[in-house]
Chain A
Protein backbone atom coordinates (compact mmCIF):
# COMPACT_ATOMS: atom_id res chain seq x y z
CA UNK A 1 0.00 0.00 0.00
CA UNK A 2 2.75 2.35 1.06
CA UNK A 3 4.96 1.54 -1.90
CA UNK A 4 2.03 2.23 -4.13
CA UNK A 5 1.67 5.70 -2.51
CA UNK A 6 5.36 6.40 -3.03
CA UNK A 7 5.30 5.24 -6.61
CA UNK A 8 2.25 7.36 -7.32
CA UNK A 9 4.57 10.39 -7.19
CA UNK A 10 6.55 8.99 -10.14
CA UNK A 11 3.44 8.41 -12.26
CA UNK A 12 5.17 9.68 -15.40
CA UNK A 13 8.08 7.21 -15.03
CA UNK A 14 7.56 3.82 -16.64
CA UNK A 15 6.75 1.13 -14.04
CA UNK A 16 9.91 -0.89 -14.77
CA UNK A 17 12.22 2.04 -13.96
CA UNK A 18 10.65 3.23 -10.68
CA UNK A 19 12.90 1.02 -8.49
CA UNK A 20 15.93 2.44 -10.25
CA UNK A 21 14.82 5.97 -9.33
CA UNK A 22 14.40 4.96 -5.70
CA UNK A 23 17.90 3.50 -5.64
CA UNK A 24 19.38 6.55 -7.37
CA UNK A 25 18.55 8.91 -4.47
CA UNK A 26 20.49 6.97 -1.78
CA UNK A 27 23.35 6.62 -4.27
CA UNK A 28 23.49 10.42 -4.66
CA UNK A 29 23.38 10.85 -0.90
CA UNK A 30 26.17 8.30 -0.45
CA UNK A 31 28.26 10.08 -3.10
CA UNK A 32 27.81 13.44 -1.40
CA UNK A 33 28.74 11.97 2.01
CA UNK A 34 31.90 10.46 0.54
CA UNK A 35 32.73 13.75 -1.14
CA UNK A 36 32.46 15.64 2.17
CA UNK A 37 34.52 12.99 3.99
CA UNK A 38 37.25 13.01 1.36
CA UNK A 39 37.50 16.74 0.75
CA UNK A 40 36.72 17.89 4.30
CA UNK A 41 40.09 17.11 5.93
CA UNK A 42 41.93 18.63 2.97
CA UNK A 43 39.89 21.78 3.26
CA UNK A 44 40.67 22.00 6.97
CA UNK A 45 44.32 21.27 6.33
CA UNK A 46 44.43 23.99 3.68
CA UNK A 47 43.47 26.56 6.29
CA UNK A 48 46.25 25.38 8.56
CA UNK A 49 49.18 26.16 6.31
CA UNK A 50 49.74 29.46 8.10
CA UNK A 51 52.62 30.00 10.48
CA UNK A 52 52.22 32.90 12.88
CA UNK A 53 54.70 35.00 14.82
CA UNK A 54 54.08 37.63 17.46
CA UNK A 55 56.74 40.12 18.51
CA UNK A 56 56.07 42.19 21.64
CA UNK A 57 58.13 44.81 23.40
CA UNK A 58 57.08 45.52 26.94
CA UNK A 59 58.46 47.25 30.00
CA UNK A 60 58.13 45.30 33.21
CA UNK A 61 59.10 46.03 36.80
CA UNK A 62 61.13 42.84 37.29
CA UNK A 63 62.05 41.09 34.01
CA UNK A 64 63.29 37.88 35.71
CA UNK A 65 60.10 37.44 37.73
CA UNK A 66 57.98 38.19 34.65
CA UNK A 67 59.95 35.69 32.53
CA UNK A 68 59.36 32.99 35.17
CA UNK A 69 55.67 33.79 35.36
CA UNK A 70 55.38 33.62 31.58
CA UNK A 71 57.08 30.24 31.44
CA UNK A 72 54.67 28.95 34.10
CA UNK A 73 51.74 30.31 32.08
CA UNK A 74 52.77 28.83 28.73
CA UNK A 75 53.73 25.44 30.19
CA UNK A 76 50.29 25.24 31.75
CA UNK A 77 48.86 25.56 28.23
CA UNK A 78 51.00 23.00 26.44
CA UNK A 79 53.56 25.50 25.17
CA UNK A 80 57.29 25.71 25.80
CA UNK A 81 60.09 28.25 25.68
CA UNK A 82 63.19 27.99 23.51
CA UNK A 83 65.10 30.93 24.97
CA UNK A 84 64.77 32.81 28.22
CA UNK A 85 66.78 35.71 29.58
CA UNK A 86 65.94 38.90 31.52
CA UNK A 87 65.77 40.73 28.16
CA UNK A 88 64.01 38.28 25.88
CA UNK A 89 61.83 35.22 26.02
CA UNK A 90 61.10 33.15 22.91
CA UNK A 91 58.04 30.97 23.13
CA UNK A 92 56.26 28.30 21.08
CA UNK A 93 52.59 28.07 21.86
CA UNK A 94 49.52 26.66 20.13
CA UNK A 95 47.73 29.05 17.77
CA UNK A 96 44.59 29.17 19.90
CA UNK A 97 46.59 30.39 22.92
CA UNK A 98 48.44 33.17 21.09
CA UNK A 99 45.84 35.84 21.82
CA UNK A 100 45.71 34.68 25.45
CA UNK A 101 49.49 35.09 25.64
CA UNK A 102 49.22 38.64 24.33
CA UNK A 103 46.59 39.52 26.94
CA UNK A 104 48.61 37.86 29.71
CA UNK A 105 51.75 39.76 28.69
CA UNK A 106 49.86 43.04 28.57
CA UNK A 107 48.59 42.32 32.08
CA UNK A 108 52.14 41.71 33.30
CA UNK A 109 53.60 44.80 31.63
CA UNK A 110 53.86 48.28 33.02
CA UNK A 111 53.98 49.57 29.50
CA UNK A 112 53.47 47.90 26.13
CA UNK A 113 55.92 49.46 23.70
CA UNK A 114 54.83 47.58 20.59
CA UNK A 115 52.95 44.50 19.38
CA UNK A 116 53.36 43.08 15.89
CA UNK A 117 51.92 39.98 14.26
CA UNK A 118 53.32 38.25 11.22
CA UNK A 119 51.87 35.37 9.22
CA UNK A 120 53.49 33.23 6.57
CA UNK A 121 51.83 30.77 4.21
CA UNK A 122 53.92 27.59 4.22
CA UNK A 123 51.77 25.77 1.65
CA UNK A 124 54.33 26.10 -1.16
CA UNK A 125 57.26 24.95 0.98
CA UNK A 126 55.33 21.97 2.35
CA UNK A 127 54.13 20.81 -1.06
CA UNK A 128 57.67 21.10 -2.45
CA UNK A 129 59.06 19.04 0.42
CA UNK A 130 56.32 16.42 0.17
CA UNK A 131 56.82 15.98 -3.58
CA UNK A 132 60.61 15.83 -3.03
CA UNK A 133 60.15 13.00 -0.53
CA UNK A 134 57.75 11.07 -2.81
CA UNK A 135 60.02 11.32 -5.86
CA UNK A 136 63.09 10.23 -3.90
CA UNK A 137 61.19 7.32 -2.37
CA UNK A 138 60.19 6.18 -5.87
CA UNK A 139 63.82 6.32 -7.07
CA UNK A 140 64.88 4.48 -3.92
CA UNK A 141 62.35 1.73 -4.57
CA UNK A 142 63.53 1.39 -8.19
CA UNK A 143 67.17 1.20 -7.06
CA UNK A 144 66.34 -1.53 -4.56
CA UNK A 145 64.68 -3.50 -7.35
CA UNK A 146 67.84 -3.22 -9.49
CA UNK A 147 69.92 -4.39 -6.53
CA UNK A 148 68.59 -7.99 -6.86
CA UNK A 149 70.11 -8.48 -10.30
CA UNK A 150 73.21 -6.30 -9.93
CA UNK A 151 76.81 -7.54 -9.92
CA UNK A 152 79.34 -6.48 -7.26
CA UNK A 153 80.30 -3.23 -8.94
CA UNK A 154 76.67 -2.38 -9.62
CA UNK A 155 75.69 -3.27 -6.03
CA UNK A 156 78.30 -0.84 -4.69
CA UNK A 157 77.09 1.92 -6.98
CA UNK A 158 73.46 1.31 -6.01
CA UNK A 159 74.39 1.27 -2.30
CA UNK A 160 76.04 4.65 -2.65
CA UNK A 161 72.96 5.97 -4.41
CA UNK A 162 70.64 4.43 -1.78
CA UNK A 163 72.68 6.00 1.05
CA UNK A 164 72.50 9.40 -0.65
CA UNK A 165 68.77 9.07 -1.23
CA UNK A 166 68.11 7.99 2.37
CA UNK A 167 70.07 10.97 3.65
CA UNK A 168 68.14 13.34 1.39
CA UNK A 169 64.79 11.80 2.39
CA UNK A 170 65.63 12.14 6.10
CA UNK A 171 66.72 15.72 5.56
CA UNK A 172 63.49 16.57 3.71
CA UNK A 173 61.39 14.79 6.34
CA UNK A 174 63.14 16.77 9.07
CA UNK A 175 62.43 20.04 7.28
CA UNK A 176 58.83 18.98 6.77
CA UNK A 177 58.45 18.16 10.47
CA UNK A 178 59.84 21.57 11.35
CA UNK A 179 57.35 23.32 9.07
CA UNK A 180 54.49 21.23 10.48
CA UNK A 181 55.62 22.28 13.95
CA UNK A 182 55.63 25.92 12.78
CA UNK A 183 52.00 25.47 11.74
CA UNK A 184 50.99 23.77 14.97
CA UNK A 185 52.83 26.19 17.26
CA UNK A 186 52.94 29.95 16.91
CA UNK A 187 56.21 31.67 17.76
CA UNK A 188 56.27 34.57 20.18
CA UNK A 189 59.27 36.79 20.88
CA UNK A 190 58.73 38.94 23.92
CA UNK A 191 61.29 41.62 24.67
CA UNK A 192 61.13 42.50 28.33
CA UNK A 193 62.79 45.86 27.87
CA UNK A 194 62.95 48.60 25.30
CA UNK A 195 65.55 47.17 22.98
CA UNK A 196 65.96 50.21 20.78
CA UNK A 197 69.67 50.85 20.68
CA UNK A 198 69.64 53.94 18.51
CA UNK A 199 69.45 57.09 20.55
CA UNK A 200 67.30 59.99 19.41
CA UNK A 201 69.20 62.55 17.36
CA UNK A 202 68.72 66.28 17.30
CA UNK A 203 67.08 67.46 14.11
CA UNK A 204 66.37 71.18 13.92
CA UNK A 205 62.72 72.17 13.68
CA UNK A 206 61.36 75.26 11.94
CA UNK A 207 59.38 75.98 15.09
CA UNK A 208 61.58 77.51 17.76
CA UNK A 209 59.85 76.13 20.83
CA UNK A 210 59.83 72.56 19.48
CA UNK A 211 63.63 72.68 19.41
CA UNK A 212 63.54 73.13 23.17
CA UNK A 213 61.91 69.69 23.67
CA UNK A 214 64.81 67.35 24.26
CA UNK A 215 64.93 64.38 26.60
CA UNK A 216 68.67 64.49 27.22
CA UNK A 217 68.70 68.22 27.77
CA UNK A 218 65.83 67.79 30.20
CA UNK A 219 67.22 64.90 32.24
CA UNK A 220 70.75 66.21 32.33
CA UNK A 221 69.58 69.61 33.47
CA UNK A 222 68.68 68.16 36.84
CA UNK A 223 68.97 65.01 38.86
CA UNK A 224 67.01 62.21 37.26
CA UNK A 225 66.83 58.82 38.95
Chain B
Protein backbone atom coordinates (compact mmCIF):
# COMPACT_ATOMS: atom_id res chain seq x y z
CA UNK B 1 0.00 0.00 0.00
CA UNK B 2 2.73 2.42 1.06
CA UNK B 3 4.76 1.45 -1.99
CA UNK B 4 1.88 2.20 -4.36
CA UNK B 5 1.39 5.66 -2.77
CA UNK B 6 5.08 6.44 -3.22
CA UNK B 7 4.98 5.24 -6.83
CA UNK B 8 1.87 7.33 -7.55
CA UNK B 9 3.51 10.40 -6.04
CA UNK B 10 6.65 9.80 -8.08
CA UNK B 11 4.59 9.42 -11.24
CA UNK B 12 2.73 12.65 -10.50
CA UNK B 13 5.98 14.47 -9.84
CA UNK B 14 7.44 13.12 -13.06
CA UNK B 15 4.37 14.17 -15.04
CA UNK B 16 4.52 17.62 -13.47
CA UNK B 17 8.15 17.98 -14.40
CA UNK B 18 7.66 16.79 -17.95
CA UNK B 19 4.53 18.45 -19.26
CA UNK B 20 4.67 21.95 -17.94
CA UNK B 21 4.02 23.77 -21.16
CA UNK B 22 1.21 23.90 -23.66
CA UNK B 23 1.59 25.59 -27.01
CA UNK B 24 0.11 25.54 -30.49
CA UNK B 25 3.14 24.92 -32.64
CA UNK B 26 4.02 27.11 -35.63
CA UNK B 27 1.94 26.43 -38.72
CA UNK B 28 3.50 23.81 -40.96
CA UNK B 29 5.82 22.47 -38.24
CA UNK B 30 5.80 18.85 -37.21
CA UNK B 31 5.50 18.18 -33.51
CA UNK B 32 8.26 16.01 -32.14
CA UNK B 33 8.05 13.71 -29.15
CA UNK B 34 10.10 15.17 -26.36
CA UNK B 35 10.25 14.67 -22.64
CA UNK B 36 9.26 17.86 -20.84
CA UNK B 37 9.90 20.25 -23.73
CA UNK B 38 7.71 21.10 -26.67
CA UNK B 39 9.63 20.56 -29.88
CA UNK B 40 8.53 21.11 -33.45
CA UNK B 41 10.42 20.92 -36.72
CA UNK B 42 9.83 22.82 -39.97
CA UNK B 43 9.95 20.84 -43.25
CA UNK B 44 13.55 22.09 -43.64
CA UNK B 45 14.48 20.84 -40.17
CA UNK B 46 14.40 24.13 -38.32
CA UNK B 47 13.82 23.51 -34.62
CA UNK B 48 11.32 25.38 -32.46
CA UNK B 49 11.60 24.50 -28.79
CA UNK B 50 9.60 25.58 -25.75
CA UNK B 51 10.77 24.60 -22.28
CA UNK B 52 10.43 25.74 -18.72
CA UNK B 53 12.93 26.63 -16.03
CA UNK B 54 12.48 27.47 -12.39
CA UNK B 55 11.86 31.18 -11.81
CA UNK B 56 14.62 31.52 -9.26
CA UNK B 57 15.21 34.03 -7.80
CA UNK B 58 11.55 34.76 -8.36
CA UNK B 59 11.46 37.89 -10.48
CA UNK B 60 9.22 39.49 -13.13
CA UNK B 61 9.57 40.00 -16.88
CA UNK B 62 11.32 43.38 -16.56
CA UNK B 63 14.09 41.84 -14.49
CA UNK B 64 14.58 38.73 -16.61
CA UNK B 65 14.48 40.48 -19.97
CA UNK B 66 17.25 42.83 -18.81
CA UNK B 67 19.27 39.91 -17.46
CA UNK B 68 18.93 37.89 -20.66
CA UNK B 69 19.67 40.80 -22.96
CA UNK B 70 22.70 41.86 -20.97
CA UNK B 71 24.09 38.36 -20.77
CA UNK B 72 23.78 37.49 -24.46
CA UNK B 73 25.09 40.91 -25.51
CA UNK B 74 28.12 40.42 -23.24
CA UNK B 75 28.69 37.00 -24.78
CA UNK B 76 28.87 38.63 -28.23
CA UNK B 77 25.46 37.98 -29.75
CA UNK B 78 24.28 40.82 -31.99
CA UNK B 79 20.77 41.95 -31.10
CA UNK B 80 18.46 42.78 -33.98
CA UNK B 81 16.04 45.58 -33.18
CA UNK B 82 15.18 46.24 -29.56
CA UNK B 83 13.13 43.17 -28.72
CA UNK B 84 9.42 42.70 -29.24
CA UNK B 85 6.87 42.43 -26.45
CA UNK B 86 4.02 39.96 -26.82
CA UNK B 87 1.19 38.66 -24.68
CA UNK B 88 -0.09 35.20 -24.00
CA UNK B 89 -3.53 34.64 -22.54
CA UNK B 90 -2.50 35.79 -19.06
CA UNK B 91 1.13 36.84 -19.18
CA UNK B 92 3.49 39.15 -20.97
CA UNK B 93 6.62 38.02 -22.74
CA UNK B 94 9.58 39.35 -24.66
CA UNK B 95 11.07 38.17 -27.92
CA UNK B 96 14.70 38.84 -28.83
CA UNK B 97 16.28 37.97 -32.16
CA UNK B 98 20.04 37.68 -32.44
CA UNK B 99 22.31 37.55 -35.48
CA UNK B 100 24.92 34.82 -35.23
CA UNK B 101 27.54 33.68 -37.77
CA UNK B 102 27.38 29.93 -38.24
CA UNK B 103 28.63 27.51 -40.91
CA UNK B 104 29.70 30.37 -43.24
CA UNK B 105 26.23 31.79 -43.16
CA UNK B 106 24.12 34.24 -41.18
CA UNK B 107 21.76 32.71 -38.68
CA UNK B 108 19.05 34.22 -36.54
CA UNK B 109 18.56 32.91 -33.03
CA UNK B 110 15.17 33.52 -31.48
CA UNK B 111 14.92 33.69 -27.71
CA UNK B 112 11.64 34.47 -25.99
CA UNK B 113 10.70 34.29 -22.35
CA UNK B 114 7.47 34.43 -20.41
CA UNK B 115 7.64 34.35 -16.60
CA UNK B 116 4.60 32.47 -15.27
CA UNK B 117 4.60 32.34 -11.49
CA UNK B 118 7.25 29.95 -10.27
CA UNK B 119 8.38 28.97 -13.78
CA UNK B 120 9.83 30.77 -16.78
CA UNK B 121 8.79 29.61 -20.23
CA UNK B 122 11.73 29.78 -22.63
CA UNK B 123 11.32 29.59 -26.39
CA UNK B 124 14.24 29.04 -28.75
CA UNK B 125 14.46 28.70 -32.51
CA UNK B 126 17.30 29.18 -34.96
CA UNK B 127 17.78 29.02 -38.67
CA UNK B 128 19.59 30.47 -41.65
CA UNK B 129 18.22 34.00 -42.05
CA UNK B 130 16.18 33.39 -45.23
CA UNK B 131 14.64 30.28 -43.74
CA UNK B 132 14.00 32.09 -40.49
CA UNK B 133 12.24 34.90 -42.38
CA UNK B 134 10.03 32.28 -44.02
CA UNK B 135 8.78 30.94 -40.68
CA UNK B 136 9.01 34.04 -38.52
CA UNK B 137 5.33 34.96 -38.68
CA UNK B 138 4.09 31.51 -37.74
CA UNK B 139 6.59 31.27 -34.86
CA UNK B 140 5.58 34.72 -33.64
CA UNK B 141 1.92 33.67 -33.70
CA UNK B 142 2.73 30.50 -31.82
CA UNK B 143 4.31 32.48 -28.94
CA UNK B 144 0.91 33.97 -28.08
CA UNK B 145 -0.58 30.52 -27.50
CA UNK B 146 1.85 29.51 -24.75
CA UNK B 147 0.34 28.51 -21.44
CA UNK B 148 1.32 26.37 -18.48
CA UNK B 149 -0.12 22.94 -17.98
CA UNK B 150 -0.61 21.97 -14.34
Contacts and interface: CB of A to CB of B under 8 A. Distances in A.
Interface stretch (A39-47, A129-137, A217-225): A217-225
Q: Which residue among A197, A209, A216, A218 has the maximum number of chain B CB atoms within 10 Å of its CB?
A: A209
Interface residues of A, number: 32
A215 B71 CA distance: 13
Contacts of B100: 194, 199-200, 215
Size category of the binding interface on chain B = 35 or more
B117 interface: no
Query: Interface on chain A toward B: helix, strand, loop, or mixed SS?
Result: loop
Nearest to A209: B53
Interface in B40-54: 41, 44-47, 49, 53-54
Given A198-B76, A223-B45, A205 B129 contact: no
A111 B80 contact: yes
A201 interface: yes
Contacts of B145: none
B53 A199 contact: no
B129 A110 contact: yes
Interface string A102-120: 0000000011111000000
Query: Interface on chain B toward A: helix, strand, loop, or mixed SS?
Result: strand
A209 B127 contact: no
Nearest to A222: B47
B49 A218 contact: yes
A132 B36 CA distance: 76
Contacts of B84: none
B108 A111 contact: yes
Contacts of A198: 76
Contacts of A2: none
A222 B39 CA distance: 11
10 contacts: A61-B130, A110-B129, A111-B108, A113-B99, A194-B101, A200-B76, A207-B71, A218-B126, A219-B102, A225-B128
